[in-house]
Amino acid sequence: MSDIKTIDVKADIIETNDTYTKEVRAFLKEQGVFLINLMASPGAGKTTTLIRTINALKDRYKIGVMEADMDSDVDAKLVSETGAKVIQLHTGGSCHMDALMTIDGLKNLGIEDLDVVILENVGNLVCPAEFDVGANLRVMILSVPEGDDKPLKYPLMFSVSDILLVNKIDALEVFDFDIDKLKDNVTPLNENISIYPVSALNGDGFDDYIAELIRRIEDEGH
Ligand SMILES: Nc1nc2c(ncn2[C@@H]2O[C@H](COP(=O)(O)OP(=O)(O)OP(=O)(O)O)[C@@H](O)[C@H]2O)c(=O)[nH]1
Ligand SMILES: [Mg+2]
């Protein structure tokens, strides 16, 4: 039998993250800010969804955005055209945001004058699901070209999210994607998740999603 000492490094990292998650929650509460963590694969439509969401909510709430990317500031430039307060966060090669990076981002963004902050997480269906950043709401996007089998391959993301946007439904005819099959794959993982088929490109399906966002934000006392 081997007597080599083995430690579970990943468990330690996630445990450390959880201590910072509490700090994020306390900071958000103190500042009266509602944080949304928006997660999806690269190219699923996070930035397009974000811009449409800001335009739908900006008369009601003062909105800030944290654009997390491994590199570049193309999304931040695009989003800033909405008039939202935007900060670009470079994760330095990391495939996800963690709670410590989130506190840093919120403090550098300056949230005292804001009601809602949306984090566009790094494009990835795996790591962002593992790291709770302390957000009030987790929204994930699965786009039609990715396929209806993704809950089977990346179950954690579907388990931890509160809302699932099925984006690019304008392209349904071109892809072999079955929304009923997707729902059958998601429900055993998370029976409470709200599922909205949408097109961030043309706005189809957004009204119901925005209504739920407003409900959730108001439920937190905003
Ligand atoms: N047909 C169609 N295209 C869309 C839709 N939403 C986004 N797109 C397109 O998909 C591409 C990627 O969209 P983005 O919003 O940049 O996706 P993202 O998830 O922010 O991408 P990264 O930040 O690079 O991971 C762009 O060409 C968008 O125009 C949609 O509902 N329908
Ligand atoms: Mg983007």
Determine contact, residues 133/164, Cβ cutoff 8 Å.
Answer: no
Ligand 1, residues 39, 46, 47, 48: which to mutate, most atoms within 8 A of Cβ?
48
The two structure tokens encoding residue 26: 């306390």
Is the pLDDT at 1 greater than 60? The verdict is no
- Select from 151, 52, 178, 37 the least CA-distant residue to 101: 37
The answer to whether residue 178 is domain-embedded is yes
Which pLDDT does position 2 carry in this prediction? 66
pTM exceeds 0.75, yes or no: yes
The answer to whether residue 202 is domain-embedded is yes
* Nearest atom of ligand 1 to the alpha carbon of 50: 15
**Ligand 1 pocket member 167 (CB < 6 A):** yes
CA angle 105, 126, 55 (to 5 degrees): 50
- Report pLDDT digits (tens) over 18-44: 899 999 999 999 999 999 999 999 999
Range of the domain at 78: 9-219
Counting the structural domains of the chain, the total is: 1
The answer to whether residue 3 is domain-embedded is no
Atom 28 of ligand 1 has which residue's CA nearest to it? 45
* Nearest atom of ligand 1 to the alpha carbon of 44: 19
Which pLDDT does position 222 carry in this prediction? 73
**Ligand 1 pocket member 44 (CB < 6 A):** yes
Rounded to an integer, what is the distance from CA 152 to the centroid of its chain? Answer: 20
**Ligand 1 pocket member 43 (CB < 6 A):** yes
The answer to whether residue 1 is domain-embedded is no
Ligand 1, residues 47, 70, 74: which to mutate, most atoms within 8 A of Cβ?
47
- Report pLDDT digits (tens) over 161-202: 999 999 999 999 999 999 999 999 999 999 999 999 999 999
The answer to whether residue 98 is domain-embedded is yes
* Nearest atom of ligand 1 to the alpha carbon of 69: 23
Q: How far apart are the C-alpha atoms of 134 and 15, rounded to whole Å?
A: 13
**Ligand 1 pocket member 48 (CB < 6 A):** yes
Q: How far apart are the C-alpha atoms of 100 and 102, rounded to whole Å?
A: 5
CATH code at 175?
Answer: 3.40.50.300
The answer to whether residue 193 is domain-embedded is yes
Q: How far apart are the C-alpha atoms of 211 and 217, rounded to whole Å?
A: 10
* Nearest atom of ligand 1 to the alpha carbon of 141: 19
- Report pLDDT digits (tens) over 200-210: 999 999 999 99
The answer to whether residue 53 is domain-embedded is yes
Q: What residues are paired with 166 via a beta bridge? A: 142, 197
- Select from 136, 158, 42 the least CA-distant residue to 95: 42
The answer to whether residue 129 is domain-embedded is yes
